[in-house]
Amino acid sequence: MTNKEKAPSSPSTASSKPNPLIQRICGPNDTIPFEQIQPEDFLPALAHFKQVAEQNVQSIVANADPDFVSTIQALETSAEELNYVASVYYVLFSAHATEGIQKIAGEVSTFLAGFSSDITLNKELFEKVRAVHESKKGVENSEQQRLLDETYLDFVRNGASLQGADREALREIDQKLAALAPKFSEHLLKATNHFKLHITNREDLLGLPDMVMEQGAATAAAEGKEGWVFTLQYPDFMPFMTYAENAELRKKMYLAFRSRGMGEAAAAYGQPADTDNQPVVLEILRLREERARLLGFENHACYILEKRMARSPENVQSFLDRLVEVSLPAARKEQQELSDFAKELGYDSVQPYDIRFLAEKLKQKIHKFDSEELRPYFPLDRVMKGLFGTAEKLYGLSFKKLEGIEVYHPEVEVYSVSDSSGADVGLFYVDLFPRDTKKSGAWMTSFREQGLFRGEVRRPHIGIVCNFTRPGKDRPSLLSYDEVRTLFHEFGHALHGLLSRCTFSSLAGTNVYWDFVELPSQFMENWVRKKEGLDLFAAHYQTGEKIPADLVEKMQAAETFRAGWNFMTQLNYATLDMKFHTTPAAEIQDVEEFERKATERTNLVEDLPNTCFATGFGHIFAGGYSAGYYSYKWAEILEADAFELFEEKGLFDSDSASRFRGFILEKGNTEDPSVLYRNFRGRDPDPDALLRREGLLKSA
């Protein structure tokens, strides 16, 4: 071993029982043996497959005549089993993080970081890669050329050109960073699960929809308590902040949510002191900057954006400034309208915990529309049928629920996916309800990427994980409109993974530039905005009546309600992200204070003391969005422009759908995303498409 970390025990010394992560990895249709896997199986399996990978790398290095197949393709598949085991672990760490899974998070992450460093800092291996990059020997097509270029650049970006002490410094940084992201996630999950609002007085529930109260009563009963219990999970938190008349209880919920990860500073808000993410954030920022400078970049943002459509911090800032310029005046006007409305209701001022509540009241006044009116038309089983029906009409896909597939939790469902000819597309896992072992939010995950695995190009196993409203005692799960949009959003990511038609898994599916990856997901949300799309599934759960046209019209009219404010919220997060990663780390001493100063222009309401968004900003400190949160708005412009084609041709126009599938969903990272989009649309995207849709810019 060349790295300095302590190796996990070998399979033979760790346990006498067969390891399912080793024994059941073969076969084109094998699924993950979740019901047999124990947390103690992971480290021995990783150690075992690391040895396999090291032997494969030695064979590449020993080859005296390097070409594409013997070097680049061989390297692509050299650690495929190790990557498989790692993907299984991270599926569990995000969606079912039991105590045993959480316990080994740091060790797994540092182990994998050490292996990655072993590969990219292997001088002999890099020389083989460099030789093929210069000679292009054995390269026969554009996808192979893309893999060659990406492989070479990944080596350079991960220190292959460094010398001496710098190489070891980079290795040490990567080890430390690998341990910090799981620590951030663990703190956030613990803080989210720790706080629970227990209500025993029915008057304190005024304003809450019946279903939300029912949900709170069910939670209380499950915990052996009288009354109602509300958590910081989104199905509880969002309705509570939107509808609860009791401002003091809204404040209590808001402070608990907004102070997650603040440690002792948030103890007064009901948060545990041992979940402090502030030192974690500061250390991550310091190490990211140090790493970037070792590699020749001014800062972490410059490093990240070298492989993004935006290319540079200056381009991102220009992009954000353009959107702020358009949306800030509208947001200020909307906030003044909200303030005036609040005074009509007797409020002296608008506090952060009042905004959702007052905005909902104002929306109901202006548009005569309450988003809760939609919920009875969104029973989960019908929404799922509509989800699959949309994919069938657009892409000819069929979904069949499978029984007997091993899953990591009883609530997980598995579907086989086939195309119009009956050919296998892949497996689709669905996990939709919150629990204490699951991170908040929603995401798509890959159990097995599409592409080469053990000598064959195989179909993918893809999943989506969400935190939606549970069924009640006498009713099915009824989704909110936002939950339906979220489901379609994550399904868009899933289609990107399922429909991939690449040879190499590292280029397949969602393995694209991060400011391109949100295009398919945000694109799918559009089918929920249109009556023709809703008619596939939206029907009252009791009567079966289709969603009324006038209700859809009200919903559409309200879509652009407070569009400026909503824009500025996302721009505020993107601005904070870029400020964190372009400001010298030494100048960031206090996370809360830095956040306030960094967002002075984009944050329209002063937050309360000892609250902080950054300490719960998992996207950039425990996910893949560091120096990339702007990607949501960047990709939203792409999808708004893309959907205008369907508005012109028809919501289910087969030719347009075929082009989107062929040029976007199937191609992965086999070509530059700008080229892929241009091939699909026949031109570059119109940057004003999103602003037109949101009513922030008049149509030309």
CA proximity to 385, closest of 524, 537, 541: 537
Please tell me the distance from the alpha carbon of residue 50 to that of residue 10, in angstroms, as a whole number.
Answer: 11
Beta bridge partners of 427: 416, 461
The structure tokens listed for 301 are 């943002």
> Residue 253 CB: number of other CB atoms within 10 A?
24
| Dihedral over Cα of 567, 572, 573, 574: its sign | positive
The structure tokens listed for 287 are 């190490």
Please give the torsion angle defined by the CA atoms of residues 225, 229, 235 and 237, in that order, rounded to the nearest 10 degrees: -160
Please tell me the distance from the alpha carbon of residue 101 to that of residue 42, in angstroms, as a whole number.
Answer: 9
Please answer whether residues 272 and 592 qualify as being in contact, where contact means their C-beta atoms are separated by less than 8 angstroms.
no
The CA-atom distances, in angstroms, between 567 and each of 236, 305, 417, 630 are: 24, 22, 36, 11
From the list 54, 143, 490, 694, the catalytic residue is 490
Three-state DSSP at 448 gives strand
For the question of residue 490 being annotated catalytic, the response is: yes
Beta bridge partners of 546: 539
The CA-atom distances, in angstroms, between 477 and each of 486, 540, 695 are: 15, 12, 33
Burial, 222: exposed, middle or buried (Cβ in 10 Å; 0-12, 13-18, 19+)? exposed
The CA-atom distances, in angstroms, between 512 and each of 124, 309, 665 are: 28, 10, 11
Please answer whether residues 298 and 289 qualify as being in contact, where contact means their C-beta atoms are separated by less than 8 angstroms.
no
> Residue 550 CB: number of other CB atoms within 10 A?
10
Please tell me the distance from the alpha carbon of residue 622 to that of residue 94, in angstroms, as a whole number.
Answer: 11
The structure tokens listed for 104 are 């080994």
- Work out whether strand 413-418 and strand 228-231 pair parallel, antiparallel, or are unpaired: unpaired
DSSP letters spanning 648-691: HH-TT-HHHHHHHIIIIITTTTSS-HHHHHHHHHSS---TTHHH
625-652: buried (b, 16+ CB within 10 Å) or exposed (e) per residue?
bbbbbbbbbbbbbbbbbbbbbbeeeebb
Which residues are the active-site residues?
A: 490
